[in-house]
Structures are given as structure tokens and as C-alpha cells.
């Protein structure tokens, strides 16, 4: 029944890049010779070279090498300049060696042989618009398509972060190059001017980037071969996986230019980054068993795809481009791929690309400004939530973060703003679904800012030192800090749009045979994690104050009220987990979701361990057992929840050493307190 796999019309199978030997070996160029760095040098000068007609003869050196001769404005070809030899036109043409009939070139790629035809020596000249890159990749002069196909690179040739064969690094204000001196030099139409260090590009009056050719960074890579291996690993399921990604992941995590990617993928464009393509395939494979179109087919080799994604991303990081940021962020959304080290690398890479700056007035294409803003905020959330997960300091400093807030225009331009990428009528984007996902994305950014403040206020090294110096007054100090951030969190929740609330019946569907998805689950889980992080620190401070001092400075009624508020937050979080439906569990969840589930269990264990009475401890133990059972059932729909279950098992083992509560400790709950004041304080904390 393999032939019955349903692939939507917008994602017809794309032609595979030609499959060669292992991509880690040097590629073969014309006549079987190895591709030299000069080939990369040729690819990296699209603006300094010019085309000439086929009837013009090559120089003597290129004729002997049987290489494409591309002249520069200096009238010296690229290869002669690279080999540091004279570029002359004095030697006579060498006689051609005619091959015997029936003899075929061994270098011809087998997967494209059915679509190419040999051209006789007397064939008509090739059009002058054929690029040097396409000529050098062809093993023989061949006609690849009956009609010319527009290149997708044309829309990114003026970009800063996705320019073909080039990469750029931001020059900060403290570098050896001063912006005032750079501005003294006249620039060209692209706001670039050449120096001995490289090409400088101005985006504003005071912001500059150093642009270099990819060939200047000597790393052993071959993107064409890596791309072929990625496609070979997924086999014929590539279009189906891309469709799954853009239907489930993209609405909630819009960091890829959808129409631009689809155009390249359908046409077999070889300039798609292999790391980005592998990351999209890997993320989509998380829904393989839930998709009727592919679930009955053999699953691709996931470990092999992970290896290709990581190795190609490691190479791509050496040449800063936005596609490397996209690939890294998508890989980090997989629970098994999440590492603190990779998150830190992406933050450094984003700073190289200037993602920490406001690009609203930069002299770059409008679509790139929108993409940069979305990537910047996605990187911001990745850094902040990774810091919470791993208990590390954040690497994005608020003093150096100057990115404008996202608006709906930053998303709509990505889908409809490119005139060259207008979708067909049968593939028009479903804007209701996209708007819902974009709203949740922007709300999560605002919540992340509050969570970053929580970490700085309660868990930073400076806050811990202040608590230590406060001594017995530490609990009161923590309570005073909690009120402002608690008000911000309450205000965020009160302003939450209706479509982002859990009771709003909004689902994403991919057709009659595809399951429904609800996108707001991970947003509310992050909200409970933020609330719990505040109350977790309060409970810790109150418990320390009670156990380390003979006469606690915290009034008994305040201790009771704070613990009651914490208990209310835990019960609300547990009820939220119980209300999750299959439509929620099958949807895309932010990478920190397993940690958030585990944090709920950790908070319950903390309340159990610090309970002043055995009855209260038994209550938390019972609720934690129910929570573990609920997660175990939910893990059948969402296997990534297994990571949270592992953390809960560790907490269960630690609680085995909890001593039995003595009756004397119950006095704290039997303390007679002012009932009116108790109700006012509890209401304040519960809100």
C-alpha cells in the first residue's frame, strides 16, 4: 500500500540532488579532477565577474585546465588570479579527442541521466545567463531543462544574512574599526566598499558589517553532497515531512520563510542549507506515527539524520548566516537534541549577525527585516528558557538588547510580501490558523520577559548573596520582591487574547484524514511554570527561616497564607494537566515543555517535604501519584513527556528519606490568627 501515500498538491515530490560518494570527501569537478578552492573563489564573486558569450575563447590557462574562464573587470580571469599566473590569449586551440560511439561519461550522475541529453560538439551556444556555478557543477555541457527556470537566489542576492556564497559579521562600537572613519569612504549602490580586511557594508549611519566570501573560511564541507545525503536518508517522504512541518510547527514557531522555502524545495534548488532541511525533517518526524499518510511506511533513519544535521550545522556556524540560526533553533525544539552548549553557540552566532539590534531602519530588504525580528525573539526565548532549565546565567543582557517588539506586519509580509513568491490559488495560506499561532508566539515572548525578571529577581547570584546577607529577614525580603513581578504576571494573564485561552475551541486541521491540533497548550504550561517559580522561592525562604532560627521573624499567619497560596497554584497546575486533550498533546510544544511538567512535580515534592503536618504531606503525596499517572497516560500521545517522568521518579526517590511529621509541628496550623487579615492576604496572593 506504499503507493497510496497521500501527498498534498502544494508539495509535489522534488527532484533529488545528484547523489555522489560520501559528502565528506572532496567533490569531483570537470574531467574527474578534484574541486579546488579556486572553485569556491569563483562562486564567491558574483558581483565582480561578468558573463561573456560562448563564442569568446578562454584564456590559455583555463583552456589547458579545461575550466570555465570568467573574466573580471581587471581583464584577468578568476582562476589565473588565484593561481597567480599571467592571463594570456596567445596559444592555439588544442585538438579535440572524439570518443567512440556508445561510450558514456562515467561521471554522469545516474539519477539525472534520464532528464539530460548529450549535446554534440556543434550544438548551439548556451545562453549567457547560465551562471558559472551551474556550468562547473555539470559534468558535461548539458541542457538540464527545456525552458529556463528562475533562480530563487535572485531574491536574496541583496540580503545581508542570506546572501549566496557570502557571510557577514557585525562590527561593534568597541572594535578596532571606528564607525566615524568608516563613514568617510564612498560606498557603492549596495552600501559596500572594499578594504584590505574585507568588504564593509553599511546598514545605518553607525552600524557596519564585515562581509566575506564563504571560500575565505576553509572548512571541509560540500553542501551539495550533504544535501543529497539528507534527501537520501528520508527517501520519498521529504515532501510529506515538509507538509507536516508547515502545517503543525510553522504556525506556532514561524522562523522560516514558508513560501521561499517551498519554492526551493519543489524545484530541487541546491542552495537550501542541509542543516536547515535536516532540522525540518527531524522535527516533522515527531508526528510520523500520528499521520495516516506516512505512519504505515518504514520510518527514516533518525540517528543518521541527526548526525547529518549536527555535522552540517557545525560547519554552517563557521560562516554566520540566518539559515544556521534557523537550523539550530529547530533542532533545539526536539527534547533529545536540547543542549545548553548549542543554545549558547546560537546566541553568539546571533550577535555576529546583529540580531540583538533594531534593524527597522537598516538598508536591507523588508522581508529580511521581518525575518530578523522573528529570529531575534525566538533566540531570546531560547536563551531565557534554557537558562531556567539548566540553572545557568542568561547570555542575553537587557542593556544590550535593542530589538523592536513584534507586530502582525512582521508576519504577514513573510507570507504575502514577496511578489516573486505569490502562492497559487490552491495553496493559499490559511490565515486564521496562522494568526492564531502568531498571537500565541507573541504572547510567549511577553511571558518570557516576565520569566527572565523572575530569574533575575530570585535566582541570580546577586539575589542569592543579598538573601544570605539578610539572614533572618530573608523571607520578608523575598516577599517584598515577589509583589511587583506577581502583579506583572497577573496583568499579562488578564490581557491574554480570547483565542489564546484554554477554553477557546481553536484547532488546526490538515484535512479529513489528519488529526486536529490545538496550539495554546505550551503557552499556558509556561505560565504555570512562571507562577510556580515565584512561589517556589517563597516556600524555600519561609522554610529556611522557620528551621534555622529559634524564633522565626515570619508571622504565623503569613506563613500559613503563603503556603495556602502555593497550594492553590499547585492544584491549578495539576488541574490544567488533567484537562489536556489529545488535540493539545498532538500539537507543537515549545522545547521547555518537558521541564515545565517536571517543575510542577518538583514544586509538589517541595511542598510535601516542607509540610508542617503529616496530613498535609499525605495530601501532596497523593496528588503527586495522580500527576505521575496522568503524565504516563499523556505520554502515549506525546512521547516527549517521558523526560518529565524521569525527573519525577528522581524526586520520588529523594522523598523516601523524608521523616515522619511529629504532632508538635502541627501547632503552626492551629495558631489562632486574625480571620479578617488572613482573608485579605490570601486573596492578594491568589490573584
If you write DSSP's letter for every residue of 407-442 in order, what string do you get? -THHHHHHHHS-GGGPPPGGG---HHHHHHHHHHHH
With cut-offs at 50, 70 and 90, classify the pLDDT of residue 215: low
Same domain assignment for residues 210 and 250: no
When the pLDDT of each residue in the chain is averaged and rounded to a whole number, the result is 75
Does 60 reside within a domain? no
Q: What tens digit of pLDDT does each residue of 316-338 get?
A: 898 888 999 999 999 999 877 56
pLDDT for position 430: 44
pLDDT for position 326: 96
Same domain assignment for residues 211 and 325: no
Same domain assignment for residues 289 and 206: no
With a CB cutoff of 8 Å and minimum separation 6, the contacts of 161 are: 168, 320, 321, 322, 353, 368, 371, 372
Same domain assignment for residues 576 and 598: yes
Residue 89 · residue 60 · CB < 8 Å: yes
The stretch 506-513 carries a mean pLDDT of 48
**Domain tally, the chain:** 3
More confident residue, 97 or 345: 345
pLDDT for position 658: 81
Burial-class residue 205 by CB neighbours within 10 Å (0-12, 13-18, 19+).
exposed
Same domain assignment for residues 241 and 375: yes
| CA–CA distance, 531 with 454 (Å, rounded to integer) | 9
DSSP-based three-state secondary structure for 131: coil
Does 101 reside within a domain? no
| CA–CA distance, 274 with 23 (Å, rounded to integer) | 11
Residue 530 pLDDT > 80, yes or no? yes
Region of poorest pLDDT, from 103-117, 178-192, 657-671: 103-117
Give, for 651, the enclosing helix (H) or strand (E). helix 642-655
| CA–CA distance, 335 with 386 (Å, rounded to integer) | 12
Same domain assignment for residues 521 and 658: yes
Same domain assignment for residues 477 and 587: yes
Q: Which long-range contacts link 351-356 to residues 24+ away (Cβ below 8 Å)? A: 351/170, 352/169, 352/170, 352/320, 353/161, 353/168, 353/169, 353/170, 353/320, 353/321, 353/322, 353/325, 354/170, 354/203, 354/207, 354/209, 355/325, 355/379, 355/403, 356/396, 356/400, 356/401, 356/402, 356/403
Same domain assignment for residues 288 and 345: yes
Expressed as residue numbers, the domain containing 163 is: 158-216
Does 409 reside within a domain? yes
Does 301 reside within a domain? yes
Same domain assignment for residues 553 and 633: yes
Does 433 reside within a domain? no
pTM of the model: 0.71
Same domain assignment for residues 247 and 182: no
Does 392 reside within a domain? yes
pLDDT for position 50: 40
Same domain assignment for residues 208 and 241: no
**Which of 385, 413, 441 is the last residue in one of the domains?**
413
Region of poorest pLDDT, from 18-27, 98-107, 608-617, 622-631: 18-27
Query: How large is the greatest C-alpha to C-alpha distance in the chain, in angstroms?
Result: 109
The stretch 369-385 carries a mean pLDDT of 96
Same domain assignment for residues 532 and 385: no
Residue 166 backbone phi and psi in degrees, to 5: -135, 155
With cut-offs at 50, 70 and 90, classify the pLDDT of residue 196: low
CA distances to 12, 36, 77, 270 from 264, rounded to whole Å, are 12, 27, 31, 8
With cut-offs at 50, 70 and 90, classify the pLDDT of residue 23: very low
**Which of 413, 442, 476 is the last residue in one of the domains?**
413
What the block records as the C-alpha cell of 285 is: 518526524
The stretch 191-212 carries a mean pLDDT of 72
Does 130 reside within a domain? no
pLDDT for position 411: 85
DSSP-based three-state secondary structure for 211: strand
Residue 681 · residue 661 · CB < 8 Å: no
Give, for 170, the enclosing helix (H) or strand (E). strand 166-171
pLDDT for position 185: 67
Does 676 reside within a domain? no
**Which of 168, 184, 216 is the last residue in one of the domains?**
216
Amino acid at each position: 500500500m506504499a503507493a497510496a501515500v497521500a501527498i498534498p498538491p502544494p508539495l509535489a515530490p522534488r527532484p533529488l540532488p545528484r547523489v555522489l560518494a560520501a559528502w565528506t570527501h572532496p567533490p569531483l569537478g570537470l574531467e574527474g579532477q578534484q574541486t579546488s578552492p579556486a572553485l569556491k573563489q569563483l562562486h564567491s564573486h558574483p558581483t565582480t565577474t561578468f558573463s561573456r558569450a560562448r563564442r569568446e575563447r578562454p584564456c590559455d590557462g583555463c583552456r589547458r585546465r579545461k575550466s570555465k574562464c570568467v573574466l573580471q573587470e581587471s581583464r584577468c580571469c578568476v582562476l589565473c588570479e588565484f593561481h597567480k599566473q599571467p592571463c594570456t590569449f596567445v596559444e592555439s586551440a588544442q585538438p579535440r579527442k572524439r570518443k567512440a560511439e556508445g561510450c558514456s561519461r562515467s561521471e554522469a550522475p545516474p539519477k539525472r541521466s534520464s532528464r539530460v541529453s548529450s549535446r554534440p560538439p556543434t550544438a548551439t551556444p548556451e545562453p549567457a545567463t547560465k551562471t558559472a556555478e551551474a556550468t562547473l557543477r555539470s559534468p558535461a555541457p548539458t541542457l538540464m531543462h527545456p525552458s529556463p527556470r528562475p533562480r530563487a537566489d535572485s531574491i536574496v542576492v541583496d540580503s545581508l544574512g542570506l546572501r549566496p556564497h557570502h557571510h557577514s559579521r557585525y562590527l561593534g562600537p568597541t572594535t578596532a574599526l571606528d564607525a566615524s572613519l568608516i563613514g568617510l569612504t564612498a560606498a557603492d549602490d549596495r552600501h559596500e566598499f572594499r578594504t584590505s580586511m574585507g568588504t564593509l557594508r553599511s546598514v545605518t549611519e553607525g552600524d557596519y558589517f564585515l562581509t566575506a566570501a564563504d571560500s575565505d573560511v576553509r572548512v571541509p564541507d560540500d553542501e551539495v553532497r550533504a544535501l543529497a545525503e539528507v534527501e537520501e536518508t528520508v527517501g520519498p517522504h521529504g515532501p510529506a515531512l515538509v507538509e507536516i512541518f508547515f502545517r503543525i510547527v510553522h504556525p506556532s514557531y514561524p522562523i522560516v520563510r514558508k513560501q521561499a522555502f517551498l519554492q526551493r524545495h519543489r524545484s530541487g534548488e541546491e542552495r537550501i542549507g542541509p542543516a536547515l532541511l535536516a532540522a525540518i525533517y527531524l522535527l516533522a518526524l515527531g508526528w510520523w506515527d500520528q499521520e495516516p499518510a506516512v505512519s504505515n511506511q518504514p520510518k527514516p533513519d533518525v540517528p543518521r539524520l541527526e548526525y547529518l544535521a549536527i555535522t552540517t550545522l557545525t560547519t554552517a556556524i563557521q560562516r554566520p548566516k540566518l539559515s544556521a540560526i534557523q537550523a539550530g533553533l529547530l533542532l533545539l525544539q526536539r527534547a533529545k537534541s536540547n543542549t545548553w552548549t548549542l543554545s549558547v553557540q546560537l546566541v553568539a552566532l546571533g550577535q555576529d549577525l546583529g540580531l540583538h539590534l533594531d534593524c527597522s531602519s537598516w538598508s536591507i530588504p523588508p522581508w529580511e527585516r521581518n525575518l530578523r525580528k522573528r529570529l531575534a525573539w525566538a533566540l531570546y526565548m531560547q536563551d531565557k528558557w534554557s537558562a531556567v532549565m539548566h540553572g545557568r546565567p542568561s547570555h542575553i543582557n537587557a542593556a544590550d538588547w535593542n530589538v523592536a517588539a513584534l507586530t502582525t506586519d512582521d508576519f504577514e509580509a513573510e507570507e504575502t510580501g514577496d511578489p516573486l513568491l505569490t502562492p497559487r490559488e490552491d495553496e493559499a495560506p490559511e490565515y486564521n490558523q496562522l494568526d492564531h499561532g502568531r498571537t500565541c508566539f507573541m504572547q510567549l515572548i511577553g511571558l518570557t520577559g516576565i520569566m527572565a525578571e523572575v530569574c533575575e529577581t530570585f535566582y541570580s547570584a546577586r539575589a542569592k548573596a543579598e538573601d544570605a546577607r539578610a539572614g533572618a529577614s530573608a523571607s520578608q525580603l523575598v516577599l517584598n520582591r515577589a509583589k511587583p513581578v506577581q502583579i506583572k504576571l497577573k496583568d499579562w494573564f488578564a490581557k491574554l487574547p480570547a483565542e489564546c485561552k484554554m477554553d477557546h475551541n481553536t484547532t488546526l486541521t490538515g484535512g479529513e484524514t489528519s488529526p486536529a491540533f490545538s496550539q495554546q497548550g505550551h503557552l499556558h504550561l509556561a505560565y504555570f511554570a512562571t507562577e510556580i517559580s515565584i512561589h517556589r522561592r517563597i516556600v524555600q525562604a519561609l522554610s529556611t527561616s522557620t528551621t534555622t532560627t529559634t524564633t522565626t521573624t515570619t508571622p504565623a499567619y503569613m506563613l500559613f497564607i503563603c503556603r495556602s497560596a502555593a497550594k492553590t497554584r499547585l492544584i491549578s497546575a495539576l488541574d490544567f494537566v488533567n484537562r489536556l486533550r489529545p488535540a493539545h498533546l498532538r500539537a507543537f510544544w515549545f522545547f521547555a515543555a518537558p521541564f515545565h511538567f517536571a517543575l510542577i512535580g518538583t514544586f509538589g515534592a517541595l511542598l510535601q517535604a516542607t509540610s508542617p503536618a503529616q496530613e498535609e504531606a499525605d495530601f501532596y503525596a497523593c496528588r503527586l501519584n495522580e500527576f505521575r499517572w496522568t503524565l504516563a497516560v499523556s505520554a502515549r500521545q506525546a512521547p516527549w513527556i517521558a523526560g518529565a517522568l524521569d525527573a519525577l521518579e528522581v524526586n520520588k526517590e529523594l522523598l523516601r528519606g523524608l521523616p515522619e511529621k511529629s504532632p508538635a509541628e502541627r501547632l503552626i496550623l492551629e495558631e489562632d490568627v486574625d480571620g479578617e487579615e488572613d482573608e485579605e492576604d490570601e486573596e492578594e496572593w491568589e490573584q
